[in-house]
Amino acid sequence: MFAVATHSRLRSARFFPHMLRATLAVRRDLASTRGLVRAANAIAGPTELFTFTVWTTRDAMLEFMRSGAHEQIMWRWPEWLSSFWLARLAPAEPELGAWRGRALTPLADRGGPAHAAFVAPAFASHEPRPRDLERAALGATLTVVRPDTPWRWPAALGSARREARAADRAPDILVRARGYSLDGELAALSFWRDLPAAERSVRAMVQQPGLATWAMAWRPLDEFGSWDGRRLRLVSS
């Protein structure tokens, strides 16, 4: 099992309708894709989107990337985006709760070899191949909050704001994106200066009544592109 995280920054808000239509098409394809464990397609603002997908195998991920709606729209990204960033991540500990009723820790194999690096074809001519992030000792977390009932949304938003304030105050945080997932969840993707900092952030979280909260620490393996002009491997060193 491994995960792929992406962060996209649009050139302007006028490209948002195009990106939203593309995201919805990709989401429909994901629903019937073999090898997908969980996925979050989140809107962080009128010019910012991020995704997080968890896969059982690298081959399943590559097959999806090179087919269907994803293959068609990825060639439009250089026209729509001012920056695009992607990272492949391995599972780490701890995990809090379950993501839509499923805990991912039992699927994790932390002792096996890393998969070979890959390049997104649409940007292969513009960016170098992904580079090993382990020397930078980065850590990542994904947090997902889903209210049990519609009237729990105020509590969910309050919880997300508190988590955001705590993350912003943390000395070890590098970048963070949070937004509304198209699956009806609040998602937050954070990158930290090292894996222990990411692990501590998950351990500090608590479950709240009426809110299904899931969080997990991850170890980045490689990165591609830039997050709003920054290479996280370079920022962390």
At 19-59, the pLDDT tens digits run: 999 888 888 888 888 899 999 999 999 999 999 999 998 88
Q: Catalogue all structural domains in the chain, each as residue range(s) with its CATH number.
A: 2-111+119-236 (3.30.70.100)
pLDDT at res. 114: 42
Mean pLDDT value across residues 120-140: 50
pLDDT at res. 33: 84
pLDDT at res. 122: 38
pLDDT at res. 53: 94
At 167-219, the pLDDT tens digits run: 788 889 999 999 999 889 999 999 999 999 999 999 998 888 888 999 999 99
Instruction: Name the band, by pLDDT with cuts 50, 70 and 90, for residue 126.
Output: very low
Q: pTM here?
A: 0.85
pLDDT at res. 71: 67
First to last CA, the chain: 27
Kindly tell me if the per-residue pLDDT of 125 is higher than 50. no
Mean pLDDT value across residues 107-116: 51
Kindly tell me if the per-residue pLDDT of 17 is higher than 80. yes
pLDDT at res. 109: 60
